[in-house]
Amino acid sequence: MANFFGDNIFKFGVFGINCAGGLTPSIAPERWRADWNEMADVARLADEAGVEFMLPIAKWHGLGGKADMWGRSFETFTQAAALAMITRRIGIFVTAHVSLITPAFAAKAIATVDHASGGRAGLNIVCGWNPDEFKPHGIKLDGEHRYDRGLEWYKIFAKLLEGGPKFDWKSQYFDLEGLVTDPLPLRPPPIMSAAQSGDGQSFAAEIADILFTSLQDIDVTSRTVQTLRSLAARHGRKPDVYVQTQFVCKPTRKEAEDYAHYYAVEMADPDALEYFARQRSSTMSKSTKGGGSESDRELAATLAGQKKRRFPGMMAGTYPIIGTPDDIVAELHRISAAGISGSTLVFLNYLQELPYFIQEVLPRMEKAGLRSKFAAAA
Ligand SMILES: Cc1cc2nc3c(=O)[nH]c(=O)nc-3n(C[C@H](O)[C@H](O)[C@H](O)COP(=O)(O)O)c2cc1C
């Protein structure tokens, strides 16, 4: 694929600052509140440090429990346009539930973000998993067919971005007339697809530049990279794989482990986790129900509670990386060697923890040959 965000061997994206709780189902009092000014500060810090992209979570419903993680969340297109105004280089993804917005709306909105940001917009497609999020919109989520519908949605969206004359579209899920869009984005936006199941991988192989997926076991995800690449080759594509990582980085290993234990074990929000597993299980993909791929089986076992997780107060599918800056780089080296192109920067409190990560981990990534020095003035 084209190298959207520079030449670094291993890339980073800040994930989830638009939602209260970020990716951490914890009741620790210093958890992320999604305060606008703090979000803006994180975006500026990441921009100035050469982090490749910002990636929001699309959310319409909280997880309940004591913290009601995600109960407060900013909408992603409007947030992206605002971030475009206060940053200069960082890529800005929007995350769109394709069952909630029309392709014509998405084409116009992504063009708006792209023009406002000078060509830095990307689209993360999510097909949805929590039926409660769709009820306020009067939509019933269909877990079995979400990718079939998503594929049609994407084809209409992609045709709109070709910029041709008006066209109509009639197919199983859409009956649309007079489709046209102007302006076009300044350049084709990178397409990310966030999913874990085999069905989700097939979808990403057909349409995406990036599969954004979970990481539990580096060997399993390494094989997912191979599977995705061979599926994508049939469509003439070569998508990259990015994974979800969460960091606890401290000067000593003990400090890091103690802090992770405090917020992600002692302070984990069990009711939120139970609600997540229940809702996520209620809309399993066909391939997960059928135990199709290794990652389907991994997902099904996690949702059924068969896999004991060391840090329940981190989202299922997030890979915890805990330790000193040197420990962190060593682990990222293993992940990179598995064929994974990048991962997310997720912290309990982004504004408190990102500066140390930038100061200590990024220079070590340069020394390790995984990233090059970021020339802020370039
Ligand atoms: C790494 C990752 C990030 C995701 N981000 C979102 C999100 O922001 N909003 C959302 O509603 N779903 C999100 N999802 C859910 C997926 O889009 C998808 O609906 C869900 O994983 C079910 O599909 P699957 O069975 O193919 O994994 C994410 C999933 C993964 C694995």
Report which of 46, 55, 47, 117 is spatially closest to residue 242, judged by C-alpha positions. 55
Counting atoms of ligand 1 from 1, which one is nearest the CA of 16?
Answer: 8
pLDDT at 322: 98
With a pLDDT cut of 90, the percent of the chain lying above it is: 88
Residue nearest to atom 13 of ligand 1 (CA): 126
Residue from 18, 23, 97, 129 to probe ligand 1 pocket by mutation (most atoms less than 8 Å from CB) = 129
Please report the DSSP string for 297-336 in residue order: HHHHHHHTT-SPPS-TTS-TTPEEEEE-HHHHHHHHHHHH
- The pTM of the full predicted model, rounded to 2 decimals, is 0.96
Among protein residues, the one whose CA lies closest to atom 22 of ligand 1: 129
Tell me the per-residue pLDDT of 200-225, one tens digit each, with 9 for 90 and over.
Answer: 999 999 999 999 999 999 999 999 99
The pLDDT of residue 376: 59
CA of 126 to the centre of ligand 1 (A): 6
Average pLDDT, rounded, for the chain: 94
* pLDDT over threshold 80, residue 95: yes
Q: Which of 309, 303, 319 is nearest to 219 (CA)?
A: 319
Closest ligand 1 atom, residue 287 Cα: 25
The CA-based angle 133-108-132, given to 5 degrees, is: 5
Q: What does the DSSP 8-state code read for residue 26?
A: B
CATH number of the domain residue 152 falls in? 3.20.20.30
- How many CB atoms are closer than 10 A to CB 266? 11
- Read off the pLDDT of each residue in 131-145 and give the average, rounded to a whole number: 93
195 CA distance to ligand 1 centroid (A)? 5
Instruction: Give the total number of structural domains in the chain.
Output: 1
**Quick check: is 5 in a domain?**
no
Write out pLDDT tens, residues 264-319: 999 999 999 999 999 998 898 888 888 878 888 888 888 887 778 899 999 989 99
The pLDDT assigned to 363 comes to: 97
Own/partner pairs for 28-34, CB < 8 Å, 24+ apart? Answer: 28/262, 28/263, 28/267, 28/313, 28/348, 30/348, 30/349, 30/352, 31/67, 31/263, 31/348, 31/349, 32/347, 32/348, 32/349, 32/350, 33/72, 34/72, 34/73, 34/74
d(CA 56, CA 96): 9
* Boundaries of domain holding 119: 11-367
Residue whose tokens read 């929001």 = 56
- pLDDT interval class at 1 (50, 70, 90): very low
Task: Judge whether 2 lies within some domain.
Answer: no
Residue 143: pLDDT over 50: yes
Dump pLDDT digits (tens) for 191-202. Answer: 999 999 999 999
Residue 107: pLDDT band with limits 50, 70, 90: very high
The residue whose C-alpha atom lies closest to atom 28 belonging to ligand 1 is 194
Q: Which tens digits make up the pLDDT trace of 227-250?
A: 999 999 999 999 999 999 999 999
Is 160 part of any domain?
A: yes
Flag whether 1 is in a domain: no
Torsion of CA 106, 44, 26, 143, to 10 degrees: 10
- Specify the residue with its C-alpha closest to ligand 1, atom 23: 195
Provide residues with CB under 6 Å of ligand 1: 57-58, 95, 97, 126-129, 194-197, 199-200, 212-214, 244, 285, 288, 317
Structural domain contains residue 4: no
Residue 208 lies inside a defined structural domain of this protein: yes
The pLDDT of 33-55, averaged and rounded, is 97
Residue 354 exposure: Cα atoms within 13 Å on the Cβ side: 25
377 within some domain: no
Pocket test of ligand 1: the residue of 142, 196, 221 to mutate, having most ligand atoms within 8 Å of its CB, is 196
Instruction: Please check whether residue 376 lies inside any domain of the structure.
Output: no
Atom 21 of ligand 1: nearest residue by CA position: 195
CA 72 to chain centre: 18
What separation in Å is there between the alpha carbon of 129 and the centre of ligand 1? 7
User: What are residue 57's phi and psi, to 5 degrees?
Assistant: -100, 135
